[in-house]
Structure 1
């Protein structure tokens, strides 16, 4: 029997004064679960207004069973998450086990083969899921802890729970983002030691991957690797960042020595945010907010 010594803590909470518990049936619940963290937001589906955002960190979580226990404890002690009468419910999973498959050759019968070609996974504990992108001709095939997904679906058994990959939420958000040009541009999400990289031009997806960053020099190494592979220009190509870095981060200052056009992204323009969200930098929460787009 596994001894679970695990906990969680709330890192950030932002709540719009217009949030009404009696209106949950008009609200969408958008959940994102990682190995060591959990975020969610609530969006009013009537006017696309973001009303609530919360960010939690898990502590002392070493196994998937321990994570499941912490998620269950967190939900059971939360005054909103156990409610079942949301308008829509979508769950984003953080996972490095994924494969993007061109939609014309995609087949549900090939899910395990697609994933196995890219990464090992344990069918004893993991299930293979897929998400068909709406803004690009690709299907994201990914694996996740089956017990976790089943528990969330059972909790909200009166509603369909749409399960997506974090990378898909980021990609959909980028392809709807306003700052695009005809030239290839790079869009990066930095999230707890993982660097997500998307390349687009004319709102068409050319590249997506994620890299484990263990030291500061890895940011420069991986970004320059993709620059070379995708034939981007260090003088002309745009690079936008979201997530855990700031304009003052040493990593950004180092990158600016090699890449001229580096900036930070903003929140999704198709959502509205009240002034209370000014507590969160504009480049934070982009992946969570864009779960909204994934149908």
Structure 2
């Protein structure tokens, strides 16, 4: 458990605070709260549950050295008019890390989560807890570790909330946009120092993994490596990108150099978005928006 609540002075710096004027803080039961905690930043989204429309998006800088996301969230909640309050229709938190695996649902046995995950991740029981999420309609279970202080804060603040791994909304959002054909497609989600690669065969995942990178050369190495292992062709097979990069960035430049059919992705379909979000690039915040598709 957190030894103490972080003071409001530790609240993170706001990078974006966009809110539709129709959002009523006194009617939280009408809204869903979505939170993502990853290498890029802390992000909050609020969606109207009945209209399936996002009305707010806020982004805060990642924790400074020595601070955790649990401390950051506690500090932000101490001075925020929405975060930390009860009464929401639904609350979801996605954690972004490399400590996860996907397992066919038929092989999953409740109670064995730690044993499954230990094949892929050296768990620290004192600092991490293990969680599972069943992907509806995919017959897949996501198993992942999360910082214990963060999950303790979340469980205490939102007892009915749902914790998922960052690959879960990515997968759910891609499935929504995938075609039923048998062709393979590659999807990339790029954050600071972290690349998520998802390869779909129609509406079924062939590969989902998170890779660390520090240079553009690292990034393209992992992308080409995955394509070679799955016998995909950089000159023929399309690649879709979401995440934290610009059209004139070194990352996009090196991707465009080696991959012929490259495009930025869209927001999740069948959802509404406030006009206040119009100035944001369509390919950013995909996982935050796609949390609306997670049960």
Aligned-residue offset at 1:34: 2.8
**Residue 101 (structure 2) aligns with:** 99
C-alpha distance in structure 1 between counterparts of 2:39 and 2:65, whole Å: 8
C-alpha distance in structure 2 between counterparts of 1:7 and 1:161, whole Å: 22
Q: Is the 8 A contact 2:220 2:255 kept in 1?
A: yes
When normalised by structure 1's length, the TM-score is: 0.92
1:142 counterpart = 2:139? no
Aligned-residue offset at 1:198: 0.5
**Residue 89 (structure 2) aligns with:** 87
2:124 aligned to which of 112, 122, 132? 122
**Structure 1 pair 22–68 and aligned structure 2 pair: CA distance change class (3 A):** closer
Please, which moves more after superposition, 167-176 or 135-144?
135-144
1:190 counterpart = 2:190? yes
Which residues of structure 1 form unaligned runs of 5+?
A: none
C-alpha distance in structure 2 between counterparts of 1:226 and 1:28, whole Å: 36
Any residues of structure 2 matched to 1:140-289 within 5 Å, and which? 140-157=142-159, 160-177=160-177, 182-289=182-289
C-alpha distance in structure 1 between counterparts of 2:11 and 2:157, whole Å: 21
User: Tell me, what secondary structure is at the counterpart of 1:109?
Assistant: coil
**Residue 22 (structure 1) aligns with:** 26
User: Tell me, what secondary structure is at the counterpart of 1:28?
Assistant: strand
1:126-164 deviation line (CA, Å, top 9, x unaligned):
11101111142211111112222122221124xx11110
Please, which moves more after superposition, 167-176 or 269-278?
269-278
Q: Is the 8 A contact 1:183 1:237 kept in 2?
A: no
**Structure 1 pair 249–154 and aligned structure 2 pair: CA distance change class (3 A):** same
Q: Is the 8 A contact 2:178 2:203 kept in 1?
A: no
C-alpha distance in structure 2 between counterparts of 1:89 and 1:170, whole Å: 17
Q: Is the 8 A contact 2:240 2:263 kept in 1?
A: yes
Please, which moves more after superposition, 161-170 or 247-256?
247-256
**Residue 34 (structure 1) aligns with:** 38
C-alpha distance in structure 2 between counterparts of 1:124 and 1:78, whole Å: 30
C-alpha distance in structure 1 between counterparts of 2:225 and 2:247, whole Å: 22
Aligned-residue offset at 1:294: 1.4
- What root-mean-square deviation, in Å, do the aligned CA atoms of Structure 1 and Structure 2 show? 2.0
User: Tell me, what secondary structure is at the counterpart of 2:222?
Assistant: helix
C-alpha distance in structure 1 between counterparts of 2:285 and 2:87, whole Å: 24
Aligned length: 290
Runs of 4+ in structure 1 displaced over 6 angstroms?
A: none
When normalised by structure 2's length, the TM-score is: 0.92
1:11 aligned to which of 15, 19, 26? 15
1:89-120 deviation line (CA, Å, top 9, x unaligned):
11111121111111110112221111110010
C-alpha distance in structure 2 between counterparts of 1:200 and 1:59, whole Å: 33
Which residues of structure 2 form unaligned runs of 5+?
A: none
1:239-271 deviation line (CA, Å, top 9, x unaligned):
010011122222222222221100000111121
